[in-house]
Chain A
Amino acid sequence: MTGAGHYPRRWRRPPQIFTHRGWRLALQLAILAYLVLAVGSLEVDVSRVVEGLERGARFMQGFLQPDFVSRWSDIRQGLIESLTMTLTATVVGILVSVPIGIGAARNLVPQPVYLVCRAIIAVSRSLQEVIIAIFLVAMFGFGPFAGFVTLAFASIGFLAKLLADDIEEIDASQAEAIRATGASWWQLIHYAVQPQVMPRLIGLSLYRLDINFRESAVIGIVGAGGIGATLNTAIDRYEYDSAGAILLIVIAIVMLVEYSSSHLRKYLQ
């Protein structure tokens, strides 16, 4: 403690996370070393990039002056595929994920069922849509059907996991009260579980619809149909004005879906 009248004239903020000086220094050095190594392993072909800048400018131009007309029939076909694939995949995804989600809720089912359902969820979640799509295209052939199966499969992992987590968090006293009336398992699901998780399920489904549309634009790149395939073709042909048009349409639809689904969610709750 300093005596009256004499107070320190210097103050430094004490470190908040790594309080030990040595560790802090080591961490800073490690980060620096990583950055040097990582940037060093970048092999950038400068002349190619410079050349690309001009192409980038052309793309920006295409984005600002999109050409909706000359490839309109391709774009239309791609959009129809994407939209139908999104809707059917979401519906089927919901239908399948509800039983799996219930099965993956620890508080409702016996252990073996729980483990099987959780395993299905884990497989569906750990693989990315694009990788799944590659396999499904190899199995089902090119086209939107492979895309539909991909999106449905991915939706199952997403919806079932969140649904199961939700069910596990429901108010146990409400379920107990229903159980105490002598209700059967089905009645328990209907009266205690469904009312509590239904609003969330609707919200999640709408959110997944949104995700599925975005993904539908991606999996087309590996041959699973939809607007992604059209986009891929446009970029391959260096038709940046058509590519710009497609991207603008995708952005517009994503915004529309997001906006309307948030409204719908508010309306339903």
Chain B
Amino acid sequence: MRARGRPGRPPFAFIAETSVLDIQRLSKTYGSRSGASGDKALRDVSFRVPQGQTLGLIGPSGAGKSTLIRCINRLVEPTSGAIHLGDTDLAALGSRDLRRARRRIGMIFQEYALVERLTVMENVLSGRLGYVPFWRSFTRRFPGRDIENAYRLLDRVGLLDHADKRADALSGGQRQRVGIARALAQEPELLLVDEPTASLDPKTSRQIMRLITEIGAERNLPTIVNIHDVPLAQQFVDRIIGLRSGELVFDGSPDALTEAVLTDIYGAEDWTAMRQDHEEDEAAEQASRLTLAGGAG
């Protein structure tokens, strides 16, 4: 077991040596192919993510968080810029190489995006699709090593007994755990996480965020978490990037995220509303915990 905190390590001291992901002047324009007009979702975004760092991506809806994450594994085609994962420029890959690159990048989705009608095991094994030939995946004859590993991952996320259940029979939190196991089955070098808690209750949200950061630390994975819940992000991530209308407007540690910065990112009104929501959630959870404790005692 690796220690979660990394004491004594300055946050960005050796980026140059160990940065796994390096994004340079990434832009995305929707609608127009020429790129001159149309809806600019990302404008010249550049940043680097080192090994083992959990990076939170915040910003109001429509700021381009989802586009940014999807540009990295090219579910969305970037208009311009470079995305280096190790030595490969993801933005420049042809379709065959892109598939090879994608299997190095695990992705966890908003609202789980499991294949609902397949079993939990098949969903986890689908993380191996990039590694096995078609006939193996078609006949569901995955290599023994993959199956063993899938069981190990299901055990890690606490769902070992649910392997043969259909994904649509699980609760929201359980489904997201399957989503995590699927991403890890890829043995990724990078983890992309898109709004992992969007449809979960506050308590489950915390559990899922904790699991994601723990796993990122265990495997020393760089992790980019796109998250709308700022307080939750502050609680779990090592570093935060703020986007506003497709532009990078903040990059720093969670502690540096002052009221002024947040108001700058979200606009005054939205930020106040969001903070209040969170405080209510917190209070409600506290209250329910108290009643539970009271009932038990």
Contact = CB atoms under 8 A, between A and B. Distances in A.
Q: Are A and B in contact, CB atoms below 8 Å, in the complex?
A: yes
Interface of A: 1-2, 4, 7-14
A10 B144 contact: yes
Interface in B97-152: 119, 121-122, 125, 140, 142, 144-145, 147-152
Nearest to B155: A7
B232 interface: no
A14 B164 contact: yes
28 contacts: A1-B160, A2-B151, A4-B155, A7-B147, A7-B148, A7-B149, A7-B151, A7-B152, A7-B155, A8-B147, A8-B151, A9-B144, A9-B147, A9-B148, A10-B144, A10-B147, A11-B121, A11-B125, A11-B142, A11-B147, A11-B150, A11-B151, A11-B163, A12-B140, A13-B119, A13-B122, A13-B140, A14-B119
B153 to A, nearest CB: 10
Contacts of A13: 119, 121-122, 140
Contacts of B148: 7-9
Contacts of B147: 7-11
Q: Which secondary structure characterizes the binding site on chain B?
A: helix
Interface in B35-52: none
Contacts of A8: 147-148, 151
Contacts of A9: 144-145, 147-148
Interface string B166-207: 000000000000000000000000000000000000000000
Interface residues of B, number: 18
Q: Which secondary structure characterizes the binding site on chain A?
A: loop
Contacts of B150: 11
Nearest to B119: A13
A9 B148 CA distance: 5
A56 B165 CA distance: 52
A13 B121 CA distance: 8
Contacts of B152: 7
Contacts of B155: 4, 7
B155 to A, nearest CB: 7
Nearest to B118: A13
Nearest to A4: B155
Contacts of A4: 155
A151 B145 CA distance: 65
B230 to A, nearest CB: 38
Nearest to B145: A9
B43 to A, nearest CB: 39
A198 B112 CA distance: 42
